[in-house]
Amino acid sequence: MVPRRCRHTQEEGRNLARIIVITSGKGGVGKTTTSAALSMGLAQRGRRTVVIDFDVGLRNLDLIMGCERRVVYDFVNVINHEANLNQALIRDKRCDNLYVLPASQTRDKEALTKEGVGRVLEELSQGYDFIVCDSPAGIEHGATMAMYFADDAVVVTNPEVSSVRDSDRMLGILASKSRRAETNAEPIREFLLLTRYDPQRVETGEMLSVKDVQDILSLNLLGVIPESKAVLTASNSGVPVILDRESDAGQAYADAVCRFLGEDLPHRFIHAEKKGFFNRLFGG
């Protein structure tokens, strides 16, 4: 019997990688943090995973992954046949199943051609279970290239008006300008990942709740990542936050990975911790 490497690819009857785009439209909501955490989580659960930085000119994934000093060749070099994939891929030192393909810092974003990106993804598809595409912000070339070939989309959203609106806009683009849309294939599976969530502010009515955001976007909820000091601490030292198992954000990302792989887990970190009687009485 052929070993089951990946459930989703088995379902489609072909043994190719599943391509996941991490997108949002709005900048600064946590796409790169999520790309790093999700790809590390998938790799730790035994899936061969490669994470690609599509933010040409403003590369940061290598920093968040802690491999910035090992970058020799990049995604654009591979597209332009200046290096092969094996030369450009950086193997993660913490997890053997994880590889990083960094973006170019010097080139123009137009360097990502549809043919070139398609060829690289095709080549990677043969040897990996998951290809995670870290999209740049905005709806321009880099972002459309990151989403074009996707099978799944994780829409990273903050509980804040402009982020929710931009996410809805991205959903429209996913539904009309992706390869799956253009070839009338089965639509991209879309997931919502709500980040920087502050349950306390939600309870006082200062912040949109999970339900509020879901009422508007109505997506499959992959996870809720609480606002957490651990995220900055992790990026300071180049360690994907999912490796900080003690932290709330790390645990929330680990749950999200399990859900992505089909487990049914209850959502955590969405309710504020109950204050004691004395705290309520005297303020705190």
Partner 1 sequence: MGLLDYFRNSQPKGTANVAKERLQILVAHDRAERHRPSYLPKLQREILDVIRKYVDVDMNAVSVNYEQEESHEVLELNIILPDTVRNMM
Tokens of 50: 């490669």
Half-sphere exposure of 64 (CA within 13 A, CB side): 29
Q: How many residues contact partner 1, by CB under 8 A?
A: 24
By the rule CB under 8 A, 161 interacts with partner 1: yes
Determine the Cα angle at 94 with ends 196 and 142, to 5°: 55
Using CB under 8 A, pick the residue from 150, 208, 256, 270 that binds partner 1: 208
Residue 18 β-bridge partners: 130
Question: How far apart are CB 174 and partner 1 at their closest, in Å?
Answer: 12
C-alpha distance across the termini of the chain, in Å: 61
Residue range at the interface with partner 1 (CB under 8 A); choices 32-40, 72-80, 93-101, 159-167: 159-167
List, in order, residues 6 or more apart from 276 with CB less than 8 Å away: none
State the sign of the Cα–Cα–Cα–Cα dihedral 224, 230, 234, 239: negative
By the rule CB under 8 A, 216 interacts with partner 1: yes
By the rule CB under 8 A, 257 interacts with partner 1: no
What does the alpha-carbon distance between residue 21 and residue 52 come to, in Å, rounded to a whole number? Answer: 10
Residue 23 β-bridge partners: 155
Using CB under 8 A, pick the residue from 72, 212, 229, 271 that binds partner 1: 212
Using CB under 8 A, pick the residue from 215, 220, 232, 272 that binds partner 1: 215
The distance of Cα 86 from the centroid of its chain, to the nearest Å, equals: 23
By the rule CB under 8 A, 277 interacts with partner 1: no
Site for partner 1, residues 42 to 101, rule: CB under 8 A: none
Using CB under 8 A, pick the residue from 165, 179, 180, 189 that binds partner 1: 165
* Binding site residues, partner 1, CB under 8 A: 160-161, 164-165, 168-169, 172, 176, 201-202, 204-209, 212, 215-216, 280-284
